Amino acid sequence: MAKGAKIALAGEGGQGVQSVAMIITEAAYEDGREALYIPNFGVEQRGGVSVAYVQISDEPIGSPKFKTADIVIALSDRAVRRTQRYVGDKTIFVYDADIEGVEDDLPKNAAKVLAIPAIKVAKDELHPRVFNIVIMGAVIGATGVVDVDRAKQAIEKKLGYKFEKDPKLRELNFKALERGMELVKEEL
Amino acid sequence: MADKPIEGEKRVFMTGNEVVAWAALAAGAEIMYGYPITPQNEIMHYWTRLAPKYGRKFLQTEDEISAGFTTIGGVLAGRRAFTATSGPGNTLMQEPMSMAEMMRIPVVQVVTQRGGPSTATVIYSQQEVTMTCFGGNGEGARIVYSTSTHQELFDYTIKAFNTAWKYRFPTHILGDGYQSKMRESLTMYDPASRGIEMVPTEPYVAKGGVPGIDRDPNHLRNTYNTEDELYDVVMGIMSDWEKYAPEIAEYQEFDAEDAEVLIVAHGVVTRAVQAAVKELRAQGKKVGHFRPVTLRPLAEEQLRKRAENAKVVLVVESAYGQLCKIIANSLYGLTTPIKKVLKPGVGVTAEEVVEEVSKLL
Amino acid sequence: MSVAPKMPKCWRPETKAHKFCPGCGHGLVLKALGEAIDELGIQERTVFGCDIGCSLLAWDFFNIDTVQTHHGRTTPVITGIKRANEDVIGIAYMGDGGGYAIGSQHLVNAATRNEKITVILVNNTNYGMTGGQMAPTTLPNQKTETSPYGRDVEATGNPTQGPEMVAAITPDTAYVARGTVANVRQLKKFMKRALENQISGNGFSFVEVLSGCPTNWRTNAAETWKFIEETMPQYFKIGEIKVPGEKKEG
């Protein structure tokens, strides 16, 4: 079977999981790797948990969705519950440390369960709006699916027009990416 | 106005719906008729954004019945015309598709399968196989390409216009919601740059000259007065169908030659099966895969040859036996048992296929 | 010795005498239409679409490219042709069942979009081809095969006021009229104006024609004409209903 990462990203609408998935897969595609991204898009997308399924590999990718993820990132209490089904005994399960009341809902069968303070770091050290970039950093830190420079290029491509107006934003986003990577690496 | 939508070749990363719009542009499609339904919508969204730049047209109709019949009108006017739909919309579109079948009108219909029956899900299935191949009150004289990757979506959307206009059968791209909504990479190209010549179109009506003076009028009908008259017409259609079927039918094989377990799957499911076969072969298991690219017509002879030598045929599909019916019908008379993995309305992963095959070995 | 009446130039002599029942109004409607096409000199550009029902019998009526479609679907087929080739003069020919029942969504939406096509709808108050069932235009208390005790408007509603409905939903550039086979001269004028409205690219045009069906009405010639001339106009007002920038007649 194709070697590579299967990533399930889940959060509430507005947390930016779909744009993170999009930037990561584009970065992998620019890197010449096989990349596939599909959002969940039921009627549930109105007011439900937003899930992005990402696969990056060096071989052709099989089915667009998968049963078991290599890494699950859950960004809300509902997302924690919703993503249990993608957890297997080799899965790294990452959730935000600020999510309350999910202690009993965390997967018992995962290889690792990591709580990272992404929301807090974004809010205290950076800016709440770069929360999704912190998460993107966490995904890259946990999987190594794309090179950090390639990830920065992908961010540049997506947000470059904003950086033109305010170069400080570039710095902020790149910092967010690096902090996200560190957060995971500290825990791994 | 821009000249060619795509110059030469271009590597891109996009959704399947966007791919279809670009492919139709590249194929020289001149007009699209459509009605909103998920997961097809973005084909129209991209088309309506791109089409005016290249002098192409769009009409949003009042329903899918109308979308199908206006597409027929576009073809009668001699244009490369197409429509796209899904699920309940495809159900409504069976009426115009049966007219196209009877009158040999080369419409191109893109189907993005969603769950069924009824409204079901807007997500994914392979439950529109029977309807797309055999819907309407007809005999199924339709060409159905079941794609599995974005590259194929691009290649076969272009090809569909050519097949339709060459053979004059309604031609269908059978995709699904996964293919519509997922993003992956592909190479888009200008057909001419690859030596693909677009089959010329011609009007059925308003052909020039005064009918009755310069030429006979073209009187097109689908109603017949007597059984004998109809019989001759239908037998004419089906005799052409039988004649051209072998040259239209397409398939792919993966380690099928010496396979003891022959997995048959189509569309996006073939991706999981191909991965599973690789894995099982690595384990030393004699597993192969036959993948019909055209569901209508089916490459029956080739399939029979492989099935004959296998110990078991395993049909895997995201429907409750719609592909299996077609396969079983074409394998009639062989003693090879047919097993099924039927997952109506949900995706199939490589892991599941490996697991199912392992049960058989 | 009887002399065959003079045919419009765009009629196809090889397919005459036509296939309609004796006393049927379709022949008169198609005569008015044929003359209008002749006088406008548009035979070469015209595409004629006919619906299911008795109108399908016109599939080889003209020396004009013709497509016979499904029940109610002539409007979208002609719309599709016209959208793909604006030089065509598209005529959709149908009955009351095709236009007001099974194909009503197409008529309503083509009218709303102000499609540059001409719809000609023959109102004979019943489904003729299928054996005389109740139609949207069947008159109150009128007996048909599916209203054998007479149309009960409490249960089945009132006769559809087609042109009035079309006039209500079209912009000022549309042309809408109701003619009758009892006045072919006027009917031809309405048809010409309808077609001119399309030729000029103005907008949608719609002509309903009151017509007779002696076979299913089970009427003799005198009764048929009495019904067309006296009874039907009590429910269906004859005349032009919407004329772009002109004074109405009737």
Domain boundaries, chain B: 9-194, 251-360
pLDDT of residue A41: 80
> Which amino acid is located at B166 in the chain?
K
Same CATH fold, B251-360 and B9-194? yes
Among the listed residues B282, B231, B289, the one whose alpha carbon sits nearest the alpha carbon of residue B259 = B289
Q: Hey, is the C-beta of B217 within 8 angstroms of any chain C C-beta?
A: yes
**Residues of chain A neighbouring B42 (CB-CB closer than 8 A):** none
Supply the Cα-derived Rg of chain A in whole angstroms.
15
Among the listed residues C69, C71, C75, C70, the one whose alpha carbon sits nearest the alpha carbon of residue C97 = C71
**Residues of chain A neighbouring B183 (CB-CB closer than 8 A):** 22, 25, 35-38
Mutate to test the interface with C, among B30, B31, B33, B62 (most CBs of C within 10 A): B62
pLDDT in tens, A53-108: 999 999 999 999 999 999 999 999 999 999 999 999 999 999 999 999 999 999 99
Q: Cα separations (Å) of A147 from A29, A30, A56, A59, A186? A: 12, 11, 13, 18, 18
Other C-beta atoms within 10 Å of A169: how many? Answer: 16
Among the listed residues B119, B123, B122, B96, the one whose alpha carbon sits nearest the alpha carbon of residue B109 = B96
Asked which of A44-58, B135-149, B200-214, B286-300 is least confident by mean pLDDT, the reply is A44-58
Contact C125, C138 (CB under 8 A): yes
Q: Which two tokens stand for residue B163?
A: 């097949």
* Binding-site residues on chain B for chain A (CB distance < 8 A): 13, 38-39, 121-123, 177-179, 181-185, 268-269, 271-272, 274-276, 278-279, 347-352
CATH architecture of A4-187: 3-Layer(aba) Sandwich (3.40)
Other C-beta atoms within 10 Å of B16: how many? Answer: 32
Helices then strands, each counted (H, E), chain B = 12, 15
Among B30, B76, B96, beta carbon nearest to C67: B76
Among the listed residues B128, B152, B182, the one whose alpha carbon sits nearest the alpha carbon of residue B317 = B128
Q: Which helix (H) or strand (E) holds C157?
A: none
Per-residue pLDDT for B330 more than 50? yes
Domain boundaries, chain A: 4-187
Helix, coil or strand: residue B279: helix
Mutate to test the interface with B, among A24, A51, A63 (most CBs of B within 10 A): A63
pLDDT in tens, C183-228: 999 999 999 999 999 999 999 999 999 999 999 999 999 999 999 9
Distance from CA of C24 to the nearest CA of B (A): 19
Q: B185–A66: do the CB atoms touch at under 8 Å?
A: no
- CA separation for the pair C92, C67 (Å, rounded): 10
Q: B347–A39: do the CB atoms touch at under 8 Å?
A: no
pLDDT of residue C2: 66
pLDDT of residue B175: 98
* Binding-site residues on chain C for chain B (CB distance < 8 A): 10, 12, 43-47, 52, 56, 59-60, 62-70, 73, 76-85, 87-88, 105-106, 108-109
Q: What angle do CA C66, C67, C71 make, to 5 degrees?
A: 135
Hey, which chains touch B, using 3+ CB pairs under 8 Å?
A, C
Residue that has been written with the tokens 């969504």 in this structure:
C105
Q: Which CATH superfamily is domain C17-242 in?
A: Thiamin diphosphate (ThDP)-binding fold, Pyr/PP domains (3.40.50.970)
**Residues of chain B neighbouring A44 (CB-CB closer than 8 A):** none
pLDDT in tens, B96-152: 999 999 999 999 999 999 999 999 999 999 999 999 999 999 999 999 999 999 999
Give residue B3's pLDDT band: very low, low, confident or very high (50, 70, 90): confident
Mean pLDDT per 10-residue section of chain C, whose length is 250 residues: 81 94 96 98 98 96 98 98 98 98 98 98 97 97 97 97 98 97 98 98 98 97 97 98 78
Among C59, C79, C87, beta carbon nearest to B73: C79
Domain boundaries, chain C: 17-242
Among the listed residues B16, B359, B356, the one whose alpha carbon sits nearest the alpha carbon of residue B182 = B16
- Domain at B251-360: CATH code: 3.40.50.920
Taking residues B50-61, report their average pLDDT: 97
Other C-beta atoms within 10 Å of C21: how many? Answer: 17
Supply the Cα-derived Rg of chain C in whole angstroms.
17
HSE-up of residue B161 (Cα within 13 Å, Cβ side): 31
Do chains B and C meet with 3 or more Cβ pairs nearer than 8 Å? yes
Q: Cα separations (Å) of A21 from A53, A121, A122, B141, B179? A: 8, 21, 19, 42, 17
Q: Which two tokens stand for residue A33?
A: 């790797």
**What is the pTM for the complete model shown?**
0.95
**What is the average pLDDT value for chain B, to the nearest integer?**
97
pLDDT of residue C246: 67
- What is the number of residues in chain B? 361
Buried b / exposed e along B216-250 (16+ C-beta atoms within 10 A) = ebbbbbbeeeeeeeeeeebeebeeebeebbeebbb
pLDDT of residue A2: 36
Helices B64-76, C104-112: axis angle to 10 degrees equals 70
Per-residue pLDDT for A47 more than 80? no
**What are the φ/ψ torsions at residue C19 (nearest 5 degrees)?**
-95, 0
Q: What percent of chain B stands above pLDDT 70?
A: 99
Touching C: B residues 67-96, CB under 8 Å: 69-74, 76-79, 81, 95-96
Q: Which helix (H) or strand (E) holds C103?
A: none
Contact B91, B131 (CB under 8 A): yes
Among B30, B70, B204, beta carbon nearest to C76: B70
Distance from CA of B50 to the nearest CA of C (A): 17
CATH C-level class of B9-194 = alpha beta
